[in-house]
């Protein structure tokens, strides 16, 4: 006996509902029962690389995810905006010294203290982006007013947008023209230097050749001078060897003269002759002393050969 038709239809409907609930729970519906706070951030620049489900972080800690994004176009005012809706898991946030059980008020207080949303790169290779929350005290809190019942967080430009803005402020065309002018000046200077290097090199080579010739002449003159000095030294040694005996005889003659003077002085001491004889002896002594002085003077100033010649005479 077959079951009534309404019972079979009802069983199929209940099964379909059970499968739908199971699918919702499996494919992300569990967060419907989680304690979340809906936030919206409107970025004025491109959000390329940001996708649904992208992480929402605070100083590297994941506290939520991107729920959805939707393009809005104002046909009358010709403006567009793309609100990015974020689901923040309140179980990962602990509020202190704030209104109890009022996360919206606590979040608005954090925004007043400088909490901002910023696009951040997840990977330079894939280009995927995330939303990072951080405190930027002193930055303006620009709100778009498109909240849709969510708490709006002001945004700040990303690091990439800051770099782009700095590049725009650099006035690259003017810098390029300045660099081109500088390169043209450098080319002119190099061409001028190239024109002067060859004559300068020739002049340097000529100067080096002259210096080398002068050095060689100086070396030859030094060699000749050294040979002359050696020859003079040898002649001096030969003169000393030749005249050594004559000088010895002259010294013996001088010694003999001195001995005679000593003997004469001794004789004078022993003489007790008359005054006239004493004066004659003194004159002889003075003559001998004068002869001795002349001999000494000749020894000091006259050449050796001249003295020997006088001694022989």
**Which pLDDT score is estimated for 307?**
46
Q: Are residues 136 and 192 in the same domain?
A: no
> Along the 313 residues of the chain, how does pLDDT read in single tens digits?
454 556 565 666 677 777 766 655 554 444 445 588 999 999 888 888 899 999 999 998 999 999 999 888 889 988 888 899 999 999 998 888 888 788 889 988 999 999 999 999 888 788 899 999 999 998 888 887 766 778 899 999 887 776 766 666 666 677 777 788 888 888 878 777 767 676 777 777 788 888 788 888 878 887 887 787 777 777 766 766 666 666 667 667 767 776 776 676 666 555 544 445 556 655 666 666 666 666 666 655 555 455 445 555 5
**Segments forming the whole domain that contains residue 272:** 181-312
Q: Write out the DSSP string of 213-236.
A: HHHHHHHHHHHHHHHHHHHHHHHH
Report if residue 4 sits inside a domain.
no
| CA 281 – CA 265 distance, rounded (Å) | 10
Using DSSP bridges, classify how beta strands 151-152 and 61-69 pair: parallel, antiparallel or unpaired. unpaired
Report if residue 84 sits inside a domain.
yes
Residues 6+ apart with CB under 8 A from 52: 66, 67, 68, 69
Report if residue 174 sits inside a domain.
no
For the chain, the domain total comes to 2
Q: Are residues 111 and 76 in the same domain?
A: yes
Q: Are residues 250 and 152 in the same domain?
A: no
Q: Are residues 190 and 99 in the same domain?
A: no
Report if residue 19 sits inside a domain.
no
**Which pLDDT score is estimated for 28?**
47
**Tens digits of residue pLDDT in 241-276:** 666 666 667 667 767 776 776 676 666 555 544 445
Report if residue 22 sits inside a domain.
no
Single out the residue of 24, 84, 89, 27 nearest to residue 51, CA to CA.
84
Q: Are residues 299 and 254 in the same domain?
A: yes
Task: Look at the block and give the residue holding tokens 């001795």.
Answer: 292
Report if residue 9 sits inside a domain.
no
Q: Are residues 239 and 292 in the same domain?
A: yes
Q: Are residues 186 and 299 in the same domain?
A: yes
Report if residue 129 sits inside a domain.
yes
Q: Are residues 88 and 36 in the same domain?
A: yes
DSSP state of 29: G
Q: Are residues 152 and 188 in the same domain?
A: no
Q: Are residues 215 and 288 in the same domain?
A: yes
**Tens digits of residue pLDDT in 131-175:** 999 999 988 888 877 667 788 999 998 877 767 666 666 666 777
């Amino acid at each position: 006996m077959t079951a009534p038709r309404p019972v079979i239809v009802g069983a199929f409907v209940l099964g379909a509902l059970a499968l739908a609930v199971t699918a919702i729970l499996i494919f992300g519906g569990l967060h419907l029962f989680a304690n979340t706070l809906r936030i919206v951030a409107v970025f004025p620049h491109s959000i390329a690389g940001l996708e649904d489900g992208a992480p929402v972080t605070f100083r590297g800690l994941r506290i939520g995810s991107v729920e959805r994004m939707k393009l809005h176009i104002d046909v009358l005012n010709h403006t567009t905006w793309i609100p990015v809706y974020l689901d923040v898991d309140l179980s990962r946030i602990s509020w202190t010294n704030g209104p109890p059980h009022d996360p919206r008020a606590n979040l608005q207080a954090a925004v007043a203290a400088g909490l901002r949303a910023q696009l951040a790169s997840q990977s330079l290779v894939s280009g995927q982006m995330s939303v990072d929350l951080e405190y930027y005290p002193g930055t303006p809190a620009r709100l778009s007013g498109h909240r849709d019942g969510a708490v709006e967080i002001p945004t700040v430009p990303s690091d990439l947008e800051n770099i782009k803005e700095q590049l725009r402020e650099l006035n690259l065309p003017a810098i390029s023209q300045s660099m081109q002018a500088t390169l043209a000046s450098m080319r002119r200077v190099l061409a001028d230097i190239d024109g002067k290097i060859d004559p300068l090199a020739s002049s340097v080579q000529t100067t080096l050749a002259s210096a080398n010739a002068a050095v060689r002449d100086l070396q030859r003159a030094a060699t000749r001078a050294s040979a002359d000095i050696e020859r003079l030294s040898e002649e001096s040694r030969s003169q000393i060897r030749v005249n050594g005996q004559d000088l010895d005889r002259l010294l013996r003659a001088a010694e003999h003269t001195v001995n005679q003077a000593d003997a004469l002085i001794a004789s004078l001491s022993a003489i007790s002759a008359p005054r006239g004889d004493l004066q004659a002896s003194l004159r002889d002594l003075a003559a001998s002393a004068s002869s001795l002085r002349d001999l000494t003077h000749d020894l000091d100033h006259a050449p050796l050969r001249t003295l020997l010649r006088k001694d022989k005479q």
